[in-house]
Structure 1
């Protein structure tokens, strides 16, 4: 199901709050090799209390996604430990075990054109504590229509306006190794938020 069709269906159903009315599928014919490489995290939608507490301090961050030979994804943040997100039978969807929440979560590449932007959904069971939508760009500046696409998608899932942000300031922390995370594992969230106040994911 394309994003446009999903949004239309959501409007037709007149849903309110976190949406459970339609399945969210990954990008059709997802190509991990095309998706790999550098991305900037341009926007975030998150309803969790931790996000609300630190969202004013979050900055635009840069990462590098590197797939392994098995189709999984190796992730790090700066020089932190490497995390692995495992592929599923559906290309464009990955799973990982959350040490913080003690549950298995999914990460879905909802839509991407590989060269400009991608919309990523974490935990499509739609729980305010766990679910997050992120917008990524190949550059630190994206066209306004792509930012609006991200905003509309987040709103269609039930995120409030207050839960949707698009940071302007770039995180100055450099990538020191040829790998970095697009999704900071939430078991690191609180520690990172306390120490850096700029990367909740």
Structure 2
């Protein structure tokens, strides 16, 4: 019975998400979205990323809402070189839940859409850019380093609906000590 319910929910999600213009979370609230998030899932099909898939760990991020509606995102990633910190500045658009940012790494503007969130537990975020071809990345964020299996299944169903192959959808293991725990 439970398998049937999960299958029905996944099919419904796929049907709802077929729209090429993915819509942001309805009535998105940046104030509720701000705070600490962990990237606990990632769907990314870039060939250059394939060698790194098995090295990926959960990343931690801090979303800071700015008074003008823009966002600063600080991310900590566990890498072979240690814990790396990066800061991104997202510009608001006239659609709540959608942002743009200039990627210095790729020297281009990328679109960010918060597709689905319940604010207290999970968020599904879509990153999109066009560079020689369209690139899309879907990330699952949690307020903790682990999320419920039905949330992971929801994320996977959305990623599949966006055309990602199963092998490009990852749920990495937790990172330890990144960022380093602060002593009080």
Alignment TM-score, normalising by the size of structure 1? 0.73
Determine if contact 2:112/2:128 at 8 Å carries over to the other structure.
Answer: yes
Please state if 1:7 is matched with 2:14.
yes
The DSSP-based 3-state class of the residue aligned with 1:168 is coil
Alignment match of 2:102 (pick from 77, 83, 97): 97
- 1:104–1:64 distance in 2 versus 1, CA, 3 Å: same
Paired residue for 2:75? 77
Determine if contact 1:67/1:73 at 8 Å carries over to the other structure.
Answer: yes
- 1:66–1:168 distance in 2 versus 1, CA, 3 Å: same
- 1:98–1:124 distance in 2 versus 1, CA, 3 Å: closer
The DSSP-based 3-state class of the residue aligned with 2:20 is coil
Task: Please identify which structure carries the higher strand content.
Answer: 2
Paired residue for 2:179? 174
- 1:10–1:27 distance in 2 versus 1, CA, 3 Å: closer
Paired residue for 1:65? 63
Determine if contact 1:72/1:85 at 8 Å carries over to the other structure.
Answer: yes
Separation in 2, partners of 1:115, 1:127:
37
Structure 2 residue ranges without an equivalent (≥5): 1-9, 77-83
Paired residue for 1:116? 121
Determine if contact 1:62/1:171 at 8 Å carries over to the other structure.
Answer: no
Separation in 1, partners of 2:40, 2:171:
6
CA RMSD of aligned residues (A): 2.7
> By how many angstroms is 1:23 displaced?
1.5
- 1:161–1:113 distance in 2 versus 1, CA, 3 Å: same
Alignment match of 1:139 (pick from 141, 144, 154): 144
> By how many angstroms is 1:90 displaced?
0.3
> By how many angstroms is 1:84 displaced?
1.0
Please state if 1:49 is matched with 2:36.
no
Give per-residue Cα distances to partners, 1:138-163, cap 9 Å, x unaligned.
11111100000000000011000110
Paired residue for 2:26? 28
Determine if contact 2:13/2:157 at 8 Å carries over to the other structure.
Answer: no
Separation in 1, partners of 2:20, 2:164:
16
